Amino acid sequence: MINRQKGTYDIYGKEGKVLKQISYVVDAYASLYNYDYIRTPLFEATELYHRSVGENTDIVSKETYDFKDRGERNITLRPEGTAGITRALIENKLYGNRNDTIKLYYDGTMYRYERPQSGRNREFTQVGVEVFNSDDVMIDAEVISLGFNILRELGINDVEVHINTLGDKESRSNYTESLVEYFKPHINNLCPDCQKRINTNPLRILDCKVDREMDIFKNAPKINDYLSKDSMERFKKLESMLKILDVDYVIDNNLVRGLDYYDHVVFEYITNYSNVTLGGGGRYNHLVEQLGGPELPAVGFAFGVERLINEIINNQEIEEQKLDVYIMSINEEEKMHALEISQNLRLNDIKTEINGNNLSMKSQFKIADNAKFLIILNSEELNKGLVKVRDNATKEEVSVDESEIAEYMLGII
Ligand code: HAM
């Protein structure tokens, strides 16, 4: 037997149902908020991720699936969606009219070579949104609340949005410098990863899972002291807008995110009880330019779909969707009628099943237990143009004209 690869999962049964429910809700909300769907390739040039997500991030330095294709090109399976979508925006010149905001949403599998553990897969699914060509803080608020409202619609209520600002480019770089100054004398107390980060990606020291509880962290410089006046005002405005939109948020000054392209707001949707990060995002005003496009500000987020599925399955009853009708048949003649009636009912939006496995009457009754109605076929009645309909709850039976069966069923379902 050949088994699935470590860190990959087959999604079926309850999980499959919830997966589809999530994509249904995301489609509906994307439409309400006026987003268009985009699909980009599953693999891209390796260089794209080095120049966007960042060379020194954990994702690019340790987790990407890189390979050379048969034409000796350096290829990477996408570890996230933002870089590919930004590339597509530039390549297809989706920014045609400079007054339009471009609102895109997407879903798809992503690949990160992580140590598999709960909530960390090597293949996982993201749904996300990206908005280009608006630097308005109102759009930050709209994007954050869109994610929050999707969670609400999915019945995930135990969530707060953790928000922080990295400020503009200058605030961010001043802050980064002061962090390096501060942590350098303590370098021997830091974990091996942070000892490297101090040279490569100092901001990431702040959300180190290993060192976070140490006293030196509590006294580390705070971003607030390095924000320009504009960045500070922008963040205050965002807060008042999130209040108007009824988003439950908390300010978390240690939130920096694991990707290099952010400035201004960064945020994560985190469950209160179990402390799971369901999704995250932020503003990235310089990525389009960095990848060779025009100066176009942007903001977006992505959810991890498997994490949403787990959250829903652990906390909600998943309802089994009942069959409307099961059509019982035994011999060839009855089967022909069953096939024809099933098509007639299904084309009338009636959820129908047939005996596709040569089952005995007894087994069919068992299988049909979750159907609201049974249609029982027998040759004698069929010769008179009739079929029997049984209400599975009351066990009452009536004979109905076969030619009028769809209308009849529509009337009682
Ligand atoms: P990210 O925080 O790297 O952001 O990923 C977003 C979400 O994907 C995470 O919060 C998590 O739910 C899920 N996720 C990440 N890695 C894994 C994994 N190994 N297994 C299962 N789930 C995982 C981004 O990817 C950014 N592109 C988000 C963004 C969009 N920023 C701006 N626009």
pLDDT at 216: 85
Ligand 1 atom nearest 268 alpha carbon: 10
CA of 282 to the centre of ligand 1 (A): 11
pLDDT in tens, 370-405: 999 999 999 999 999 999 999 999 999 999 999 999
pLDDT bucket at 2, cuts 50 / 70 / 90? very high
Is pLDDT above 90 for 215?
no
Is pLDDT above 90 for 28?
yes
pLDDT bucket at 358, cuts 50 / 70 / 90? very high
Is pLDDT above 80 for 113?
yes
User: What is the mean pLDDT of the segment spanning 118-130?
Assistant: 97
**Residues pairing with 65 in the sheet:** 77
pLDDT in tens, 317-336: 998 889 999 999 999 999 99
Residue nearest to atom 22 of ligand 1 (CA): 304
Confidence (pTM) = 0.94
Q: What is each CA distance from 390 to 365, 375, 400, in whole angstroms?
A: 11, 6, 10
- What residues flank ligand 1, with Cβ below 6 Å? 80-82, 112, 114, 119-121, 124, 126, 128, 130, 258-259, 277-282, 300-304, 306-307
CA of 258 to the centre of ligand 1 (A): 9
pLDDT in tens, 52-64: 999 989 999 999 9
Ligand 1 atom nearest 257 alpha carbon: 2
